[in-house]
Structure 1
Amino acid sequence: MPPLVANIFHVLKDAEKDGRFMSTPEVHRELCRSLPDPPVVKTVQRTLQKLLDEQLVESEKRGTALVWRKRAGAGGVAARSASLMTREQALALQTLKRFSSRQIPSLVAESLSSLFDIAEMRLGASHNDSERRYRKWVDKVEVESGGFALQHPAIDATLFAVVTRALFYEQKLDVVYRVRSKADQEKTRILDPLGLVEVGGVVYLVAAMAGYDKPAMYRLDRLVSASMLPEAFAYPPEFSLAEYVKAQRQFDFMVEGAIPVELHFFNGAGNHLLESPLSDDQVAQPTVAGLNVKGTVLLSKRLRWWLRSFGPNVEVLGPAALRDEMAAEARALAALYAEKP
């Protein structure tokens, strides 16, 4: 940031703190007090006008003159970055703000909030068609889940902030957790927060607890209360959140181990597996009736949910135990829909 801009920012009052407006001569007088070689009033006026064009300051007209103050969100790191921020960087920040998952720690989000504001202002100050293309880009991109859309459970913002701060500072959490599987019982637990994971719009805290060998998952929307304790904990060096999620597949729910499966798809139901394989060792073979697919997968609740989603368009050929299980479910489903007298 140019020295004069930095000095003017230091002098101006902040709208975020309900600071008052200052006239150009008043800004100039403050600069004269603090700088050994202050600029002339006209230079201050031109610089303030440039900052107004860049949406970093706001102004009002008092009589025939303009008065100035810092725009809310234009202080700190944003102020230092604003004059150097390119439109490509502003676009990247706006895209991050729009499409980032909500498990981004609130502590980090708060630190970035002023940068997000500056990025929005930077893109908003468009003077020609080339610049306006950047402003319109964010509105040309959307993200949509491939699954059936459910309403995501609400998470208390205050509790979320407490959890993410404890995770950031590696301090213990005292929580009251509502256990759905036990008649909505509420249990108090002291946790060591290890990570946050979002699965299908539901946010989980992965945490360790004294007396248990393995970390467990806690849905944040089921937290009744949470407070960060002054006691720090040693983050286990052997724990990897990526390993927990991607290799151990803990969010596949009740993983029972790897199994070789053989599936036969009908009516084109499995054709997407030709581009998105179900495993590294997948072998797919077209047949007269459809598509035969073999591969090694983890037997879990999620695998069963996925198989059920195809209805009569998939047949489990193996292993025998999984085939028997799916066949029993099919018979039960058929009985449920059978015509009743």
Structure 2
Amino acid sequence: MRASRLVSLLLLLQTRGRMTAAALADELEVSVRTIYRDVDSLHAAGVPLYGDAGPQGGYQLLDGYRTRLTGLTESEAESLFLAGLPGPAKELGLANAVTAANLKLMAALPEDMRSRASRIASRFHLDAPGWHNDADDTPLLAEVAAAVWDSQVVEVVYRRWKAPEEVTRTLSPYGLVLKGGRWYLVAQARRGVATYRVAQILGLRVLDEKFDRPADFDLAGYWERSLADFESRRHTGEALIRLSPRGVERFPNMVLPRVAQAARDTALPDGGWTRVTVPIESIDHALVEFLRLGTDVEVLEPPELRERFVATARGLTEIYSSSSSSSGEVNTRCGS
């Protein structure tokens, strides 16, 4: 642990130049006294490190000195693909490895490339989760990830959406996918490769059994095909609707890209409005989706969906009409 910290201290000074003991302590999450001891150890090892006192002081390496201690550890190398995703890296237990890997990479770069890399890092930030999705609670994510890394067969208790809700599955975990802030496990099960939401894994037991991951298995390709298949099965019907000019502007921001594209492809002018045909999941789902547009949408077909809209509108009218009457009675009583 101390040897790793000494290397990190050395690399920090190499990449950032002069740093105070307090700044080094904050960066390495140790006390200032520990930094003093570490600096003494580096001195004793012959590292050309010197310090200046005063407000503008700090520790600095002798000009031109560069360490070659930039080799990545196994965990640091594995973490590189998460270098731009500090949140997911932390969830996987790789936050420290990502920090160390980034530091070593920066130390290995020439000065001009190092400054450009630092500039990019300070100007761009990737936030993976969507706006309206709560983060999943994934207490078993690190264990799932370890099984993926080690090609270890696992037995999981999984909660699904149909009865029986809790099932036990033996899985060969091929990979993890982060989609919209939610983690999914892609694994070989008894009936083939399938996808499991990590938050729905209630229990996990690592079996004393390894598996051989197929050399030709493409995780990204599988995920792309899986999404396309999901979308094709998700939308099983169609609706013919009219959108006001304002509705045309709002519609793409309120529906899935596939639905928005269908609206653009089928758009026809209709008396100042626009008539479009779009895919829908179900009558219930379409009712909820289209109601968000309020008076900027009119459902024409299917008849069942239009009837549901009419019934909903009547119900709302009754509720708000009775509310107005009740308010009036209250105001009359107060006035009397």
TM-score, normalization: structure 1?
Answer: 0.54
Q: Are 1:139 and 2:122 an aligned pair?
A: yes
- 2:205 maps to what in 1? 227
Give me the whole-angstrom Cα distance separating, in 1, the residues matched to 2:14 and 2:192: 58
1:107–1:165 Cα contact (<8 Å) kept = no
Residue 60 of structure 1: aligned partner: 39
The verdict on how the C-alpha distance between 1:145 and 1:99 changes in structure 2, with shifts beyond 3 A counting, is: closer
Cα RMSD (Å): 5.4
Counterpart code for 1:314 = V
Alignment counterpart, residue 77 of structure 1, candidates 72, 85, 93: 72
**1:176 equivalent in structure 2:** 157
Aligned letter for 2:71?
G
| Counterparts of 1:55 and 1:206, CA distance in 2 | 41
User: Would you say 1:247 and 2:224 are equivalent positions?
Assistant: no
Q: Determine if the alignment matches structure 1 residue 163 to structure 2 residue 144.
A: yes
Secondary structure in 2 matching 1:231: strand
Residue 299, structure 1, aligned to residue 281, structure 2: yes
The structure-2 alpha-carbon separation of the partners of 1:163 and 1:273, relative to structure 1 and needing over 3 Å to count, comes to same
Q: Secondary structure at the match of 1:230?
A: strand
Q: What is the match of residue 283 of structure 1?
A: 266
Compared CA separation, residues 142 and 318, structure 1 to 2 (3 A) = farther
C-alpha change, 1:150 and 1:18, in structure 2 (3 Å) is: same
Q: Deviations over 1:195-243 (max 9, x none)?
A: 5444432323345644x6783533x234333233233457687993321
CA distance in 1, matches of 2:308, 2:175: 35
Give the one of 7, 16, 21 matched to 2:4: 16
How far is 1:121 from its partner? 5.7
Contact 1:166/1:228 (8 A) holds in 2: yes
1:304-333 Cα offsets, whole Å, 9 max, x none, are 664344333323333334444555555555
CA deviation string 1:162-210 (max 9, x = no partner): 2123335554321234568889x76543334455444432323345644
Where does structure 1 lack aligned partners over 5 or more consecutive residues? 1-12, 22-47, 82-92
Task: State the match for 2:196 in structure 1.
Answer: 217
Counterpart of 2:185 (choices 205, 223, 229) is 205
Q: Percent identity?
A: 21
How many residue pairs are counted as aligned between the two chains? Answer: 272
2: distance between equivalents of 1:161 and 1:131?
A: 32
Q: CA deviation at 1:148?
A: 4.7
Report the counterpart of residue 118 of structure 1 in structure 2.
Answer: 104
Distance 1:180 1:260 in 2: 25
Judge conservation of contact 2:71–2:104 (CA < 8 Å) in 1. Answer: no
SS class of match (1:282): helix
Instruction: Give the corresponding residue for 1:90.
Output: none
Which one-letter code corresponds to 1:245 in the other structure? L
Query: How far, CA to CA, are the matches of 2:289 and 2:129 in structure 1?
Result: 12
Give the counterpart letter for 2:144 in structure 1.
V
More helix per residue: 1 or 2?
2
Residues 255-305 of structure 1, C-alpha deviation per residue, up to 9 Å, x if partnerless? 253x3433322252333668964239822234444333234x362687666
Counterpart CA distance in 2 for 1:311 and 1:203 is 34
